[in-house]
Amino acid sequence: MTAKFVGACSKPSNIKDLNKPEIAIVGRSNVGKSTLINALAKANIARTSKLPGRTRLINYFDFEKFCLVDLPGYGFAKANKTEQAGWQSLIESYLLNSKNLAHVLVLVDSRLDVQDFDVQMINFLFYHSISFSVVATKIDKIVKSKRIHSIKNLASGFKLGIENIFPVSANLNIGLESLYRRIIQFVDLGGKNV
Report DSSP letters for 89-103, one per residue.
Answer: HHHHHHHHH-SSEEE
pLDDT tens track for 97-114 = 999 999 999 999 999 999
Superfamily of domain 4-189: P-loop containing nucleotide triphosphate hydrolases (3.40.50.300)
Domain ranges of the chain: 4-189
pTM attached to this predicted model: 0.89
pLDDT at 51 over 60: no
Tell me the pLDDT band of 76, cut-offs 50, 70 and 90: low
For residue 49, what pLDDT is reported? 57
Average pLDDT value for residue range 185-193 = 71
Q: What mean pLDDT, rounded, does the chain reach? A: 87
pLDDT at 79 over 60: no
- Higher local confidence (pLDDT), 25 or 9: 25
* CB-side neighbour CA atoms (13 Å) of 40: 30
For residue 29, what pLDDT is reported? 81
pLDDT at 75 over 80: no
- Fill in the DSSP letter of residue 160: -
Average pLDDT value for residue range 162-189 = 95
CA distance 77 to 80: 8
Measured in whole angstroms, how far is the alpha carbon of residue 139 from the centre of its chain? 16
Q: Could you write out the three-class secondary structure of 23-89?
A: EEEEEECCCCHHHHHHHHHCCCCCCCCCCCCCCCCEEEEECCCCEEEECCCECCCCCCHHHHHHHHH
pLDDT tens track for 126-172 = 999 999 999 999 999 999 999 999 999 999 999 999 999 999 999 99
pLDDT at 23 over 80: yes
